[in-house]
Structure 1
Amino acid sequence: MELIHSLSDDIKELLNPSSTEDARLVQKGLMLYRQGMVHQLHINEYLATAVVQDVTPCKVELDLNFLGLSECSCPAEDLCRHKIAVFFAAFSTVGSVTKWLEEWREPMMEKKSLTSLGIQKAKDLIKANGVLKPDYEGWVRSFEDSFDTLVQTKKTMSPFVVADLFEIYERRLSASAPLEQEWRMLYELIATVVSFRKLAVLSEQAGHTEDMVKRSYLHLFHQMIDDVEDLVAKIGVQSLPFDFDAFILKLKDDTFTLLTCVSGLEQERISFYRLLWSGLFRNKTWRAEETEKIRLGLKDLREGENPVPLLIASIHLHYLQGDDESALNLLRQIEDDIATPFMLHWIDQLTQLKAWKRVGTMIELFLQKIRGYLDELRSYHSCTGFTREALKTIAPYCVETNRTDLFERALLQTLPYSFADYEYMLFERGHYERWGELQAFVGLNYADLPSSKVKIVEKEQPEVLLGILHQTVQAEIDQKNRPSYKLAVRHLKKLRTLYKKMKRQDDWHYFLNTLLDRTKRLRAFHEECQRGKLIEG
């Protein structure tokens, strides 16, 4: 059955054979299955159901389409031994469980053999080749041959072994690095560029999904980005030998392939590219030529090919050349959910240069686009994290230019994810009325408000609390149960106190009479009002 095989692949990707916890989970599920503890197995088109006899019987529903929607009556929240046992029982109807286990455990066995192999290979390489002399084409050819020999020897590549293989590969490169410090840094820089490209291509050719890469070896790309940043900074402050020029020129040309070598790893490829062009390739003529090269590359893109890396690279080069108008025009043409995350980099870079006029223009466009990005991002956690980063990035400009209005607009644009920052700012500035409106906007209950702030607002501007209390009372009444009615009465008493303090007893009586008339069918609520002595019995 096709869906069972698909589920099998999902479980192989989810569970890491090198993880003690995952291995124990599979072993427990296997034991239940082999001991015949899976009963009443029934498989239909989309679901496998069974009862697993454990300490207590557990009912399992295994969703063959979406593993995450599977259910088990045991307390475990995620994948449990009972689901694994039912999976093995279901898989046994279409294939060999023993063979499945061998395939799943293969990456772990590969790791053990490859680690010892890698140590030996590194030693052999030192003996055989020694240190490589300065030769750009020779270096690149050596990097690519080493990568292909060690990493691309197998027909199939499990994502779990990539990091170990790459570590061995890096040791082999380090063994042949030049001894002179200047040449060694250049060697490492070129090696990192080639390695980044080769690993990206391997990832795509092996069919590794975004999630597989993230869980298994995305950290390798991030580490290479950090390494390049350090190398570019070191090389940039040194007086370079004249012989470096030809190497840098060839590296510049090869760097373009980062934009087109694969379709995935968009953020990482663009970050890598921008680092090199910001810190190393500073020649104005080079930047102008690269801009034209990208323009032609965009023109020659085939249908279905991803234009974003080329577009972002073009925008970056326009900024490096001071052509903000062209950069902004390109940004306006890109969808909000694509352009927005990249804009923080330029805001930060221009802020470091104290180019405040340029920063302001970029922030204005950023605030026009951020809402569209957050709406597409959807995950509350991700939206909150991005909002926090965005506010931190634009804050220096707002402080330097005294643009508190711009910062407040950013807070408004990013609600509710900016609630904590906005609430703090309004309260600290004594804008209690707007503070109260913000609480009402996000739907906070009166009881959820910090008591220390409520005391201050009640003393300084008590009318601010009226709206929140009215909203809270209505929300409690709408629950239509006795405990909520009791809470509503408690809040009504607070309302009565505030109205009295403000000498607005007539408004209180009018509101209460209207409320009682509107809720005359809610006998239990009226009883609680009588019990709380809001009305006569």
Structure 2
Amino acid sequence: MPRFKLAKNRMNLLIDKLQNRFDPETLEQGWEHYHKGFVAKLTLQHGYILHAIVHGVEPYDVKIDLEQFERSECTCPSTGECAHMAAAIFMAYTAHGRPELLLIQLKHTLLTRTKAVRAAGRAKSEEHPMIPGPGDLPAQWHKVFDQRFYGFTLSHQHSVDTFYSAAVDSLLPFAQTWNEGIRSLYRLHIYLFILRKIDDFHQTHQTTYLSTYHVAGSRNAAMRALQEITQWTKQADPHPISRQHEGHWQDTIRLVREWSLRGKPGPVPWLDVYRTLWGQWFEQVEEPTKERHRLKHMLGPSGLPSRQEDILRLALAHFDISGGDDETAIHSLNRLHNRQIGDFLFVLQQLHQAEAPDRLLRWLRWLLPLMPRLKQDEFHTLCGYWVEAMKHQPSDEEWIRVMIAMLPRSYTYYTDYLMKHGRFRQWADLQLANSVDPANLYPDEIKAVEASDPELLLPIYHQSVERMIQEKTRLSYKTAVRLLRTLHLLYEKLDRLDRWQLYIELLSDKYSRLRAFQQELQKGQWLS
């Protein structure tokens, strides 16, 4: 319970904001944060700022303005009202009553309101079903799309893939008789609509038991739609559309900007949608100067959510990168609140496809501090780009330093590189440093090293024999003896059987008290 109690009129104001500005899923998440004790250091600052630290993926700083609620903010990636704000309000309510009862009251109010709105919308939709026309601007098309899929929800019977197919199959036929240019633009907006709805589904289902089931499907469907958009940009000619349908053209640019730059978390890679359409389509006609000016204007107001500010900076940097000015882009992006690798995979892919290895390497160097904390698939993706970039460099020393610094995560890439370049001594040192068992090495690698220098394998087998003996089980002793057979063959190939004999005698003497091991040595006929 907080050490202070808000005035009743201010608490009522916050309750009103909860039921008018927060959706049920956000309220539920906020309650979970409060209930699990994630709210810390709730204080009242200056008499009108409710301040709290709410722990999520990391501690988030929440400030709720009791006089101008619209100026409230949270340092989490979400935009607008978030679960951390709701959690702070639930904590403040503990001085007035039981937060769990408040949650029930709020959910009941929201549920009643939602049912009434849906019933009215459904009746209107059934009475006057709208049809898109070629003269309508894209914003009107989307109103039609929304009406025709009003109330569509996901379940095990209605998956994201079901919605995807239904949207394409039911909406495309309306444009069959339109002229080619406007019909092509209409097709783009169907895929943009699909992406918008995927975002809506994510917001609706992320706190339900279906969330895990739908997250993967939503991401796959979003990537599929992005691929369709990318392919569409390669086929559709923007020049006749921009000349003959200027209103549609400008409305499309406006809508793409509006949807892509909000910075809301979700399965849709909106930033990549923006960069794809600008880089491969809009820029064929539009001079980016006006768009850059708009982005700078959007960045102007202070108090933007940190994630939205980052998205705007990334969008601005796109134009510098597409113009080959990496230095300006990097200088600007050094001001990001949170550098996320997912925001840069698009850039790396574009530079790789453009066969610009020097520029690719520059961005990889800039992203290097992120690599230790990447997910495994992201780490492998960046390693792949490093391999491609280094193919065009006169020396591989930088690549070696990076791989060594990233061990053990970079083991697969580093060992493969050493084998391909015949650096067998470094390869052997790597196996020793990581205590790799010979059984876990590829037979082809062992054969290649043995053919080059069998002596390099000796310490690897010696280390493994010692490790097996130290386990002190009958099975590990048997394994050790099998390794000794391979060691004997290596010594024989090196014509050093005298050293082998000395080694086996010293090994037997060192572990003379291990009766079971001595028995296995005798079975293997290593003791006379």
Q: TM-score range by the shorter chain?
A: 0.5 to 0.7
Pairwise mapping of residues 158-169 of structure 1 onto structure 2 (< 5 A)?
158=155, 160-161=157-158, 163=160, 164-165=162-163, 167-169=165-167
CA distance in 2, matches of 1:429, 1:262: 45
Kept in 2: contact 1:440–1:467 (CA 8 A): yes
Query: Per-residue displacement from partner, 1:285-324 (whole Å, max 9, x unpaired)?
Result: 1342244145336x43248x66554454344343234442
Of residues 458, 462, 467, the one that matches 1:470 is 462
Deviation for aligned residue 1:421 = 4.5
C-alpha deviation, 1:182, in angstroms: 1.0
What do the CA deviations read for 1:183-242 (whole angstroms, capped 9, x no partner)?
111222234334423442353145566524335544432232122212222234755452
Q: How does 1:248-287 map to 2 (within 5 A)?
A: 248-261=249-262, 263-265=264-266, 268-282=269-283, 283-287=287-291
Name the CA shift for 1:525/1:263 in 2 (closer, same or farther; >3 Å).
same
User: Alpha carbons of 1:353 and 1:192: their partners in 2 closer, same or farther (altered >3 Å)?
Assistant: same
In structure 1, how many angstroms separate the alpha carbons of the residues matched to 2:448 and 2:194?
A: 60
1:160·1:216 contact (CA, 8 Å) conserved in 2? Answer: no
TM-score, length basis structure 2: 0.64
Helix, strand or coil: the match of 2:436? coil
**Shift of residue 485, structure 1, vs aligned partner:** 1.5
Structure scoring higher RCO (CA < 8 A, sep ≥ 6) equals 2
Do structure 1's residue 482 and structure 2's residue 468 form an aligned pair? no
Task: Look up the match of 1:524.
Answer: 516
The answer to whether 1:370 aligns with 2:371 is: yes
> Deviation per CA, 1:66-115, whole angstroms, max 9, x where unpaired?
xxxxxxxxxxxxxxxxxxxxxxxxxxxxxxxxxxxxxxxxxxxxxxxxxx
The superposition leaves residues 479-522 of structure 1 with CA deviations (integer Å, 9 ceiling, x where unpaired) of: 21223213323333543554465466676566555544543331
Alpha-carbon contact 2:438-2:461 (below 8 Å) kept: yes
Aligned CA distance change for structure 1 residues 459 and 133 (closer, same or farther; 3 Å): closer
Q: State the alpha-carbon separation in 2 of the partners of residues 448 and 153 from structure 1.
A: 54
3-state SS, counterpart of residue 176 of structure 1: helix
Contact 1:159–1:208 (8 Å) recurs in 2: no
Greater Cα offset, 495-504 or 310-319: 495-504
Amino acid at match of 1:285: T
CA distance in 1, matches of 2:489, 2:170: 78
Q: Distance in 2 between matches of 1:272 and 1:476?
A: 55
Cross-structure match for 1:231 = 232
Q: 2:250 is paired with a residue of what secondary structure? A: helix
Q: Which residue of 2 aligns with 1:313?
A: 315
What does residue 148 of structure 2 align with?
150
Matches within 5 A, 1:67-466: 129=131, 132-136=133-137, 139-147=138-146, 149-153=147-151, 158=155, 160-161=157-158, 163=160, 164-165=162-163, 167-177=165-175, 179-205=178-204, 207=206, 211-236=212-237, 239-240=240-241, 242-261=243-262, 263-265=264-266, 268-282=269-283, 283-296=287-300, 299-302=302-305, 309-329=311-331, 331-332=333-334, 339-373=340-374, 377=375, 383=376, 385-409=377-401, 411-412=403-404, 415-416=407-408, 418-466=410-458
For 2:244 and 2:441, how far apart are their aligned partners in 1? 67
Is the 8 Å Cα contact of residues 200 and 262 (structure 1) preserved in structure 2?
A: no
Q: For the structure 1 residues 411 and 341, does the alpha-carbon distance in structure 2 shift closer, same or farther, using more than 3 Å as the test? A: farther
**What is the aligned residue count?**
398
What is the DSSP-based 3-state SS (H/G/I as helix, E as strand, rest coil) of the residue aligned with 2:340? helix
Identity of aligned residues (%): 21
- Summarize the Cα distance change of 1:524–1:212 in structure 2 as closer, same or farther, 3 Å threshold: closer
TM-score by length of 1: 0.63
List alignment gaps of at least 5 residues for structure 1: 1-116, 378-382
- Gapped regions of structure 2 (runs ≥ 5): 1-121
In the TM superposition, what is the alpha-carbon distance from 1:180 to its structure 2 partner?
0.8
1:362 deviation in Å? 0.9
**Aligned counterparts of 1:343 and 1:362: Cα–Cα separation in 2:** 9
Change (3 A) 1:296 1:446: same
Q: Answer yes or no: is the 8 Å Cα contact 1:489–1:528 preserved in 2.
A: yes
Residues 450 and 197 of structure 1, relative CA distance in 2, 3 Å threshold: closer
Question: Secondary structure, in 3 states, of the residue corresponding to 1:263?
Answer: coil
Distance in 2 separating the partners of 1:476 and 1:220: 49
State the distance in 2 between where 1:318 and 1:420 align. 35
Give distance in 1, aligned partners of 2:437 and 2:513. Answer: 25
Conservation of the 8 A alpha-carbon contact between 2:199 and 2:267 = no
Task: Pick closer, same or farther for the CA change 1:509–1:346 going to 2, 3 Å.
Answer: same
Q: Counterparts of 1:448 and 1:430 in 2: how far apart (Å)?
A: 20
Corresponding residue for residue 68 of structure 2:
none
Q: Distance in 1 between matches of 2:360 and 2:243?
A: 36
Superimposed CA distance per residue, residues 109-163 of structure 1 (whole angstroms, 9 cap, x where no aligned partner): xxxxxxxx9xx99xx96xx85x613332xx422422431x333337x76475364
Q: State the alpha-carbon separation in 1 of the partners of residues 486 and 220 from structure 2.
A: 55
The change in CA–CA distance for 1:197 and 1:512 in structure 2 (over 3 A counts) is same
What's the CA shift for 1:475? 1.8
Asked if the contact 1:151/1:165 (under 8 Å) is kept, the reply is: no
Kindly provide the amino acid, as one letter, of the partner of residue 279 in structure 2.
S
Amino acid of the structure 2 residue aligned with 1:458? E
The amino acid of 1:529's aligned partner reads L
Change (3 A) 1:241 1:346: closer
Please report how far the alpha carbon of residue 415 of structure 1 lies from its aligned counterpart in structure 2 after TM superposition: 4.8
- Relative to structure 1, the CA distance from residue 366 to residue 284 in structure 2 (aligned partners, 3 Å threshold; closer, same or farther) is same
The one-letter amino acid of 1:439's match is Q
C-alpha distance in 1 between matches for 2:200 and 2:423: 55
Report the CA distance between 1:470 and its aligned residue.
Answer: 1.2
- Sort the Cα spacing of 1:407 and 1:344 in 2 relative to 1 into closer, same or farther, 3 A: farther
In the alignment, what sits opposite 2:89? none
Classify 1:313/1:510 alpha carbon distance in 2 versus 1 (closer, same or farther; 3 Å). Answer: farther
CA RMSD, 1 decimal: 3.8
* Deviation for aligned residue 1:280: 2.4
Letter in 1 for 2:340: A
Shift of 1:417: 5.4
